[in-house]
Chains A and B, each alone.
Chain A
Amino acid sequence: MGNLFTDIGKVLEKYGLTYLDGMKNTLILAVVATLIGCVIGFFCGILQTIPYGPKDHFLKRFFLKLLRVIIRAYVEVFRGTPMILQAVFIFYGLPYVTGIAFQDIWTVSIVVVSINTGAYMTESVRGGILSVDAGQTEGAKALGMNHFQTMLHVILPQTLRNIMPQIGNNYIINVKDTSVMFIIGFMEFFSVHKIVAGATFKYFPSAVLEMGGYLLMTLAASVLLRWIEKKLAGRQSYELVNLDQLATTAGTYNYPGKGSPFDERSREFGGEKR
């Protein structure tokens, strides 16, 4: 054991900054690509759920149907093939076929991981939208909101809350899976291990550092996501408002929580108050 700590110390002394650099790159790539992936997901998810009926104009129906087919194809292709191959396709294939090449390795990496995440998020968002009770849409329509307003103000805020766990999942997957971007020469966290191990032959001490580093990046995200989820859920209790200044003021009122018993925040679970 003592040996291990000395080795780790030695590796860190010489390559500590390289590890940090790799971690920084992985983190930026994962965060940025997850965010862009979410935007793609929301965009495609919304386009995919624009309703059309037999009474709509022929061109509108045709266009919306075509849109759904294209999005479907995008999802199936990018979900159904390995990201490592997608990276190769875009990095080497694009210049091969079109003669246009990305100059910057960062751009390619962000594009590849974002498009990949977008494919997963499109499905999550579609599911999230469908899981919002149809009554919410009818309530909004009855007030005169159009499809876009209904989505923006009523459905998507609820969708976002519902799919927070999936966004977290995608981020965590991205932190780990961006390690395949070494294939196009992106200097992410895992490629540091290959450099260090190749130079020092200290495979295991370096792997320990890598494990710790990855866990740190994913745990931090888990904590942050929990916090956001809580924020999105809103407060559990509310103040009774008394606009009549002469009346006695009422205290905090707490209607019995109605969370799912499987939700750790619900009372039955003995969870903490929001």
Chain B
Amino acid sequence: MSEPILEIRHLSKSFGNNEVLKDIDFTVSKGDVTSIIGASGSGKSTLLRCINLLETATSGEILYHGENVLRGGFNQSAYRAKVGMVFQSFNLFNNMTVLKNCMAGQQIVEKVPKEEAKQRALYYLDKVGMTPYLNARPHQISGGQKQRVAIARALAMEPEILLFDEPTSALDPEMVGEVLEVMKKLAEDGMTMLVVTHEMGFAKDVSNRVVYMAGGIIEEEGPSAEVMSNPKSQKMREFLERFLQ
């Protein structure tokens, strides 16, 4: 087994009295493509947001290369820069062009010189096939194109792991394919990815691990081929059946 990048240990999160995550425990190793599946409200987004520190976990640990990111004094900005996030609603900066979107993080957070940031942005925009739209603003391109730019923006930080929160759920059906295609290519290139998705095809064929969540706990977890075709838990079997209909 290769080196673990993220280790989630006994992670819990409550909103008021509502315990949304209960004692979550799992590990992401280098090169892993992990799909997190589960019904709406099962806590998938909250888990990703806790990992990215957009939410503060109530208890537990998140170890990044063995170091607990939740302890006081940890450099959160540097950590976030290395743990990329792609959102369901894209969240591209509306006041910047496509190119500037991909340069901003590098220049502002990592102080990369302008020309180098531009070259890096161009490299990753090419990877997602968005080079022609460099000068467009987010409101001028389609949903699928926005999501591809958002992926390029995250990649331009050269992160160690990319988190995706339902990257295709806000897209028109005809645009889902282009985004999944880009994600598949990334997986083949060896990118470490943690993907919350409702695309069972992606979970089964592209990812190598699957985590099934229900009611704030990890109900089942394992190699995708195994878990997706032969789930042990009754709940997961029912969940998958609903998708196959």
Q: Does A250 contact B (CB under 8 A)?
A: yes
Tell me the complex Cα distance, A157–B100, Å: 14
Cβ of A204 to closest chain B Cβ, rounded Å: 50
Tell me the complex Cα distance, A55–B53, Å: 13
Cβ of A256 to closest chain B Cβ, rounded Å: 9
**A-binding residues in B (CB < 8 A):** 52-54, 56, 77-81, 84-85, 87, 89-95, 97, 104-105, 108-110, 122, 126, 131-137, 139-142, 150, 153-154, 157
Say whether, besides A149-B109, A239-B135, A144 and B78 are in contact (CB < 8 Å): yes
Tell me the complex Cα distance, A158–B94, Å: 8
Say whether, besides A55-B56, A135-B89, A136-B91, A144 and B136 are in contact (CB < 8 Å): no
Most chain B C-beta atoms within 10 Å of own C-beta, residue among A139, A154, A239: A139
Q: Are B93 and A139 in contact (CB under 8 A)?
A: yes
**Which chain A residues (134-177) contact chain B, with CB distance < 8 Å?**
135-136, 138-146, 149, 153-154, 157-158, 161
Count contacts on A: residues with CB < 8 A to the other chain.
Answer: 31
Contact with B along A223-242 (1 / 0, CB 8 A): 00000000000100011111
Q: Does A2 contact B (CB under 8 A)?
A: no
**B-binding residues in A (CB < 8 A):** 53, 55, 135-136, 138-146, 149, 153-154, 157-158, 161, 234, 238-243, 250, 253-255, 258
9 closest cross-chain pairs (CB), A and B:
A144-B81, A139-B91, A143-B105, A142-B85, A135-B91, A144-B80, A144-B109, A255-B140, A157-B95
Give A255's nearest chain B residue, CB to CB. Answer: B140
Residues of chain A lying within 8 A (CB to CB) of residue B142: 255
Residues of chain B lying within 8 A (CB to CB) of residue A55: 56
Residues of chain B lying within 8 A (CB to CB) of residue A242: 132
Q: Are A153 and B104 in contact (CB under 8 A)?
A: yes
Tell me the complex Cα distance, A53–B104, Å: 27
Give B104's nearest chain A residue, CB to CB. Answer: A153
Tell me the complex Cα distance, A145–B96, Å: 16
Cβ of B170 to closest chain A Cβ, rounded Å: 11
Q: Are B95 and A161 in contact (CB under 8 A)?
A: yes
Cβ of B121 to closest chain A Cβ, rounded Å: 12
Give A161's nearest chain B residue, CB to CB. Answer: B95
Q: Are B131 and A143 in contact (CB under 8 A)?
A: no
8 Å CB contact of A145 from B52, B77, B134, B141: B77
Residues of chain A lying within 8 A (CB to CB) of residue B136: 238, 253, 255
Residues of chain B lying within 8 A (CB to CB) of residue A241: 131-135
8 Å CB contact of B93 from A140, A141, A239, A250: A140
